[in-house]
């Protein structure tokens, strides 16, 4: 078995949850499917808009459709063998356990800080042993040096953690997708039980 076959075979029996299918969630999902994840659980209540196309993994002919439905279609075009459980609904404390309770790892990919906060607290209370990978702070362009990973037990936070004025500093593809890829890479690191490769 080659190294890449070994990795995809490990990932093929793993289940990852993604809370939100926007700029972070849609791109994390694509990276995980390309890596060979076996099962994805994705939930979002939103529909695809034209404004989403500057950073989210959707196409113009999908505008107006529920995000999870369009995303499922796009992911299965990459790999039809992937099991994609998609819920077109808002994530709440009432359904979060059913959605993510059996996932090996969970990615937080909400838009609003308030949603990030209740989800982080809820997951830490109910599933303290389950890794939660969050995104916080990725607006604008430039200053990539400020983007980092903060590790706090089973909680991982990717981004610059800097507050910006949403009207002045929009969300753009490079920084959003960069943070999404950091989240996806952490999923691989945790699922493959490997420490990051050190430069010698």
Binding interface with another protein (CB under 8 A):
20, 22-25, 109-114, 116-117, 120-121, 124-125, 134-139, 150-153, 155, 157, 159, 161-164, 166, 171, 176, 179
Q: Which two tokens stand for residue 86?
A: 């998609």
Q: Please state the closest distance from residue 121 (CB atom) to another protein, in A.
A: 6
Q: Please state the closest distance from residue 13 (CB atom) to another protein, in A.
A: 28
How far apart CA 94 and CA 92 sit, in angstroms, is 5
Pick the closer one to another protein by CB: 58 or 110: 110
Pick the closer one to another protein by CB: 36 or 159: 159
Pick the closer one to another protein by CB: 11 or 18: 18
Q: Please state the closest distance from residue 131 (CB atom) to another protein, in A.
A: 14
How far apart CA 20 and CA 123 sit, in angstroms, is 15
How far apart CA 21 and CA 73 sit, in angstroms, is 13
Pick the closer one to another protein by CB: 10 or 162: 162
Q: Please state the closest distance from residue 10 (CB atom) to another protein, in A.
A: 28
Q: Please state the closest distance from residue 83 (CB atom) to another protein, in A.
A: 24
How far apart CA 72 and CA 68 sit, in angstroms, is 6
Distances, alpha carbon 107 to alpha carbons 6, 40, 58, 129, 151, in Å: 23, 11, 19, 14, 14
State CA 54 to chain mean position distance.
17
In DSSP notation, 171-197 reads --HHHHHHHHHHHHHHHHHHHTT-PPP
How far apart CA 139 and CA 173 sit, in angstroms, is 9
Q: Please state the closest distance from residue 7 (CB atom) to another protein, in A.
A: 27
């Amino acid at each position: 078995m080659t190294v890449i076959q070994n990795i995809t075979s490990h990932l093929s029996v793993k289940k990852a949850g993604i809370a939100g299918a926007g700029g972070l969630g849609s791109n994390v999902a694509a990276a995980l499917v390309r890596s060979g994840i076996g099962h994805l659980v994705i939930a979002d209540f939103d529909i695809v808009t034209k404004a989403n196309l500057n950073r989210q993994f959707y196409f113009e002919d999908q505008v107006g459709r529920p995000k999870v439905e369009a995303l499922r279609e796009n992911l299965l075009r990459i790999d039809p063998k992937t099991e994609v459980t998609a819920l077109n609904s808002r994530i709440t404390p009432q359904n979060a356990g059913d959605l993510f309770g059996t996932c090996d790892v969970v990615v937080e990919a909400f838009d609003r800080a308030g949603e990030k906060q209740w989800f982080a607290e809820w997951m830490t209370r109910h599933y303290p042993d389950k890794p939660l990978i969050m995104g916080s702070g990725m607006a604008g362009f430039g200053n990539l040096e400020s983007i980092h990973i903060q590790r706090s037990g089973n909680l991982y936070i990717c981004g610059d953690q800097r507050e910006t004025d949403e009207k002045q500093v929009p969300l753009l593809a490079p920084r959003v997708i960069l943070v999404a890829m950091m989240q996806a890479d952490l999923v691989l690191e945790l699922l493959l039980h490997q420490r990051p490769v050190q430069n010698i």
